[in-house]
Amino acid sequence: MNRMFEPFFTTKEPGKGTGLGLSTALAIVKSHGGFIDVYSEVGKGTAFNIYLPATDATEPQKVKEQEETPKGQGELILVVDDETTVSRVTCSVLETHGYKVITAFDGANAIPLYQQHKEQVKAVIMDMMLPVMDGQKCIRAIREINPEVKVIAVSGLVEKNRLTEGAAHAQAFLPKPYTSNTLLKTIYEVLHEK
């Protein structure tokens, strides 16, 4: 239980998860000034309580004026991520903002999917920690099909110097967890770079 929040720690068998779920949850909670309390009893289960600071503001807080969120024009994006929740949320955000999306849950499935849609796919969002074939190998294989393909590497490894060669050759890098706005800005910039 002492290691459960460490990135890449998992009790699942190889290929069944990246071990980033709890570390990502903790990072999000801490970024809001909160903490997570864990209670576990063998044979009975585990409870996670999330505590966030309350506000005692009597007036509604003014919403910061946000920059206009970039929208797509029907561009097809290939999303490759083995974390179902991350993949679903990413697809939902992209589709809501004018993009079309196809998905793969590991590198081995991403390559034939890209090959099949190579003329339409405008960018690939690639998780670097994938089962069967990792992101680095998958990027290399996709670049053999199309050396000009635009790739956004995604990883729970926040330190850029720890990224693999594959992520270093991507047009952009998104650390997990990322916000919808960061995702949309990044995809827009990558698609419109000259």
Q: Is residue 67 part of a domain?
A: no
Task: Please tell me which residue, 189 or 6, carries the higher pLDDT value.
Answer: 189
pLDDT in tens, 150-165: 999 998 765 444 454 5
Mean pLDDT for the chain?
A: 83
pLDDT in tens, 56-92: 666 665 555 456 788 999 999 999 999 888 899 999 9
Q: Is residue 174 part of a domain?
A: yes
Same domain, 47 and 143: no
Q: Where are the beta strands (DSSP E) in 100-144?
A: 100-104, 121-127
pLDDT band at 100 (very low <50, low <70, confident <90, very high): very high
Same domain, 90 and 183: yes
Same domain, 88 and 172: yes
Task: Please tell me which residue, 17 or 54, carries the higher pLDDT value.
Answer: 54
For residue 21, the model assigns a pLDDT of 72
Tell me the C-alpha to C-alpha distance, in Å, between residue 40 and each of 47, 52, 86, 191.
6, 21, 26, 46
Question: Number of structural domains, the chain?
Answer: 2
Domain of residue 165, CATH code = 3.40.50.2300
Share of the chain above pLDDT 70, in %: 76
Q: Which of 70, 117, 68 shows the shortest CA–CA distance to 94?
A: 70
Q: Is residue 62 part of a domain?
A: no
Instruction: Check if the beta carbon of residue 91 is closer than 8 Å to that of residue 103.
Output: yes
Same domain, 49 and 91: no
pLDDT higher than threshold 80 for residue 146: yes
* Domain encompassing residue 125: 76-192
